[in-house]
Amino acid sequence: MTIGSLQKSLADFAAEREWEQFHTPKNLAMALAGESGELLEIFQWLTPEESSAVMEDPVRAPQVREEMADVFAYLLRLADVLDLDLEQALVEKIETNHRKYPAHLARGRADKYTQLGG
Amino acid sequence: MTIGSLQKSLADFAAEREWEQFHTPKNLAMALAGESGELLEIFQWLTPEESSAVMEDPVRAPQVREEMADVFAYLLRLADVLDLDLEQALVEKIETNHRKYPAHLARGRADKYTQLGG
Amino acid sequence: MTIGSLQKSLADFAAEREWEQFHTPKNLAMALAGESGELLEIFQWLTPEESSAVMEDPVRAPQVREEMADVFAYLLRLADVLDLDLEQALVEKIETNHRKYPAHLARGRADKYTQLGG
Amino acid sequence: MTIGSLQKSLADFAAEREWEQFHTPKNLAMALAGESGELLEIFQWLTPEESSAVMEDPVRAPQVREEMADVFAYLLRLADVLDLDLEQALVEKIETNHRKYPAHLARGRADKYTQLGG
């Protein structure tokens, strides 16, 4: 399914339940952050190595999948309510980051672009 | 662009900078939650009405767009690293929610499905 | 109880369970953010008015209390592990904010200090 | 300073700026989560070992201190607005956790209490 058709499904779902009243941008941003927090909790005590193998864990794998679907749902819903083109926003962001983080300066460094010098 | 091609762009961007070492699922889940927190900060003092008009605000509109692109970027990157099909996960989630939140019980109520009775 | 004695209780609790291995600053920052996310979820669909009356709600009041205790626990534990004086840090922050947000400029405005002019 | 006197300072600060109108429990919960997100961002790319040495890093140490003060400020302010005794809530939580996580079952395990068996 495309992003547009997923957004349509989510909008219909909300409309059928008269949930548009709850779906202000403010509330959706909260719901998005809340679901991101639940995703975080799955990973919080894992070592880096355990986190890399999380999809082989029969308990955690479906939890990760479900929390990521929840984050995605609220992100798409928020974009829809704001009439914001998420794919276009990301394309532009990637272009900006190509300028902010030149490969030869950023190589192997996790620093913010303001600290890259250059 | 499709989700697959956006993920390819993000993966190339990381590879060119030798950033795969930082992109463990644990770290990406943290980055996703951090960006969700920045999105939250834009909305935190707004009334519901102000939040609904946020895209007409010349200062906040581009901030919202940028933070949502960041959230989307880390969500796609995390799904890629985990080899998880985000669209399929969301389709399944919507199907599950159709069962959990029957329209006639959930109408106009923001309660969790466990409180819907039925 | 003082902050110091609460930190001692939390440290003993962790030591008795051999949980110090999990309590790196990184992991504790994740746990703190995760609990903040749970707190957020209680409020996400409430109107401002409903949120102000949340402690009169017999279902939500104990949830709020519990999530705030969890946030406080991880904040105190993180400060302890980092050997950081939380009260002193806050006293200094309040002093800084008195300079950044002069009352006559900030009155009735939720703007960030960088936008206050003056 | 005690928690009560810190809360008094924060309440006076808000009152002098006529910020009580912004300090609904909902908005304060958002601000708390937003600051937790900023704390998270400091740690997101660090290894466990780097995170343990973060207070020796001259750039990150003051950032950690500042973000933790911000989290603490909003947590205290929220507790004050809700008229909730944070220390008492934590004392009760620790007592509950002594029952939920018996030392002999929880030793060396990061599992949730529901998975401890016993």
- pLDDT per residue over C34-62, tens digit each? 999 999 999 999 999 999 999 999 999 99
- Answer yes or no: is pLDDT of D15 > 80: yes
CA D93 vs CA B90, C9, C65, D7, D112: distances in Å: 36, 11, 9, 21, 15
Residues A36, C37 contacting (CB under 8 angstroms): yes
Count how many pairs of residues, chain A against chain D, have C-beta atoms within 8 Å: 10
- Residue A49 domain flag: yes
Name the average pLDDT for chain D: 95
Residue A7's pLDDT is what?
A: 98
Identify the band that residue C118 occupies on the pLDDT scale cut at 50, 70 and 90. Answer: low
Q: Complex ipTM, two decimals?
A: 0.96
pLDDT at D118: 53
The helix/strand count (H/E) of chain C reads as 6, 0
Does the residue B101 lie in any domain?
no
Q: In this structure, is residue C15 part of a structural domain?
A: yes
Contact present, C71 and C37 (Cβ < 8 Å): no
For the stretch D33-84, pLDDT in tens is: 999 999 999 999 999 999 999 999 999 999 999 999 999 999 999 999 999 9
Q: What are the respective helix, strand and coil percentages of chain B, to the nearest 5?
A: 75, 0, 25
- Rounded percentage of chain D residues whose pLDDT exceeds 70: 98
Residues of chain A that touch chain C, judged by Cβ-Cβ distance less than 8 Å: 22, 27, 30-31, 33-38, 40-41, 43-45
Among B3, B6, B13, B26, the strongest candidate for a mutation testing the A interface, having the largest count of A CBs within 10 A, is B26
Chains within contact range of chain D (3+ C-beta pairs < 8 Å): A, B, C
Decide if B16 is inside a domain. Answer: yes
Give C113's pLDDT tier (boundaries 50, 70, 90). confident
Instruction: Round to whole Å and give the CA distance between B7 and B30.
Output: 18
Is C36's CB within 8 Å of A37's CB?
A: yes
pTM for the full model? Answer: 0.96
Does C106 map to a domain? Answer: no
Q: Is the pLDDT of residue B29 over 60?
A: yes
pLDDT digits (tens, 9 = 90+) for A59-89: 999 999 999 999 999 999 999 999 999 999 9
Contact A27 B37 (CB under 8 A): no
Helix axes of A60-82 and B60-82: crossing angle, nearest 10 degrees? 150
Chain C interface, best mutation among D57, D68, D76, D81, by max C CB count within 10 A: D68
Range of the domain at D12: 3-84
pLDDT digits (tens, 9 = 90+) for B43-94: 999 999 999 999 999 999 999 999 999 999 999 999 999 999 999 999 999 9
Q: Which residue has the tokens 């405005």?
A: C109
Closest-CA residue of chain D to B48: D27
Please provide the size of chain D in residues. Answer: 118
Report the domain count for chain A.
1
Whether residue A72 and residue B90 make contact (CB cut-off 8 A), yes or no, is: yes
- Please give, rounded to a whole number of angstroms, the shortest distance from the CA of D89 to a CA of chain B: 25
Residue D92 lies in a domain: no
Find the residue in C nearest to A33 (Cα). Answer: C37
Are residues C45 and D35 in contact, defined by beta-carbon separation less than 8 angstroms?
A: no
Which of B33, B45, B47 lies at the smallest CB-CB distance from C33?
B33
Q: Are A71 and A32 in contact (CB under 8 A)?
A: yes
What pLDDT score does B118 carry? 53
What pLDDT shows up at residue A50? Answer: 97
Nearest-angstrom CA–CA distance, C44 and C60:
12
- pLDDT of residue B12 exceeding 70, the answer is yes
As a whole-number percent, the residues of chain C with pLDDT over 90 amount to 91
Torsion of CA B100, B105, B110, B116, to 10 degrees: -70
Cβ distance A36 to C40 less than 8 Å, yes or no, reads no
Q: How many CB atoms lie within 10 A of CB A7?
A: 18
Rounded to 10°, the helix D25-43/C25-43 angle is: 160
- What are the DSSP calls for D22-81, one per residue? G--HHHHHHHHHHHHHHHHHHHTT--HHHHHTGGG-TTHHHHHHHHHHHHHHHHHHHHHH
Mean pLDDT of C84-98: 96
Strand segments, DSSP code E, in C5-114 are: none
Are B110 and C45 within 8 A, CB to CB? Answer: yes
- Cβ-based interface (< 8 Å): residues of C facing A: 22, 27, 30-31, 33-38, 40-41, 43-45
Q: Write the CA distances from D42 to A112, B69, C47, integer angstroms.
A: 11, 20, 32
CA dihedral B16, B18, B24, B28 (to 10 degrees): -50
Q: Mean of the pLDDT values across residues B1-17?
A: 95
Does residue C115 have a pLDDT over 90? Answer: no
- Binary contact (A90, B6; C-beta < 8 A): yes
D110 part of a folded domain? no
Q: Residue B84 contacts by C-beta under 8 Å, 6 or more apart in sequence?
A: A55, A64, A65, A68, B78
For chain A, list residues with pLDDT below 70: 117-118
Q: Please indicate whether, in this complex, the C-beta atoms of D44 and B30 are within 8 angstroms of each other.
A: yes
* Cα distance between residue A16 and residue B33, in whole Å: 30
Residue C95 lies in a domain: no
CATH number of the domain at C37, please. Answer: 1.10.287.1080
Tokens of B1: 């662009």
Interval C22-34: pLDDT, tens = 999 999 999 999 9
The two three-digit tokens of residue D1, written as one number:
């300073």
